[in-house]
Structure 1
Amino acid sequence: MGKGDMKTKKGKTNRGTFGASRPKKESNKAARREKFKIKED
């Protein structure tokens, strides 16, 4: 349970990835879609 563990928040922040333990904020997704004109599925 440390920086190398990809199932923990600490491991996610160390690698800069997102997942179940470190989800992206929903409010930012809408702003990115509008800014970059990404189609919604």
Structure 2
Amino acid sequence: MILTTETINNLIGIKESYQASDALMKILFDREKREEIFK
């Protein structure tokens, strides 16, 4: 599987790349989401 920007955006639930930093911060501070995504 090739890791593309679109794939990453779908994984973290965003539509545009500029939203990534905020979405990642929310994920990192939410233990359940963090463990689900980074398992």
Looking at both structures, which has the greater relative contact order when contacts are Cα pairs under 8 Å and sequence separation is at least 6?
2
Which of the two has higher C-alpha Rg? 1
* Same fold, judged at TM 0.5 (above): no
- Report the TM-score, using the length of structure 1 for normalisation: 0.32
**Which protein has the bigger helix share?**
2
